[in-house]
Amino acid sequence: MGNLASSLPQEALVGLVEHVADPSESVRQAVVLALSQTTISEEVMQVLAEAYTISTHATQLTIIQTLAQFEFPFAYELFIQALTSPDPLIRQTAIAGLGELGDPRGLLVMRTHLLQDSNVGVRSEAAFRLGKLGGPADLPALRQARETDPTPNVHFWATWSLEQIGSET
């Protein structure tokens, strides 16, 4: 269905959204992929976002993964909420979603997760996104991560980001 993209009627898109709670992981991932290929309305995606708080963990992940594919401003608050999840994949995807939004309010959140999150994937995603969106205010956090983070992956992305922003390596 996703390959049909903008030619899908609204009813088909709603049908796709209804499958974000499917018990099968492969179906949920197919929904994310299909929706990312469509031009879905903001109203339909808001319904999906509203379902986040009453959803199971697996459905929450699918919702965050889906919303991260789009640049709907209403998703900012949901990404912030998702950053409190105990699941590192949800947190990492929320950082990616904030990055895709390009909302400067997300930069502080990214710096915080770069330096304080317990998961290397979340810290790496935050470093990468800071390199895409950040500026001089993000340099101290990136330098600190490069110097003190115990993982090579975070070192790599912090160094890359410093280069992107225009700092010394």
Q: What pLDDT score was predicted for residue 63?
A: 84
Full domain range(s) for residue 54: 1-70
Cβ atoms 16, 3 nearer than 8 A: no
Residue 77 domain flag: no
Query: Which whole number is the average pLDDT over 63-75?
Result: 86
Distance (Å, rounded) from C-alpha 169 to C-alpha 146? 10
145 and 117, same domain (yes or no): yes
Q: What average pLDDT does range 137-153 have in this prediction?
A: 97
Q: What is the pLDDT of residue 123?
A: 98
Asked whether residue 125 falls in the same domain as residue 92, the answer is yes
pLDDT at 10: 67
Handedness of CA 19, 28, 61, 8 (dihedral sign): negative
Is the confidence at residue 48, as pLDDT, over 90?
Answer: no
pLDDT at site 169: 46
Closest to 113 measured CA to CA, from 150, 153, 75, 141: 141
Q: What pLDDT, in 10s, does the model give residues 81-95?
A: 999 999 999 999 999
Instruction: Name the E strands within 28-99.
Output: none
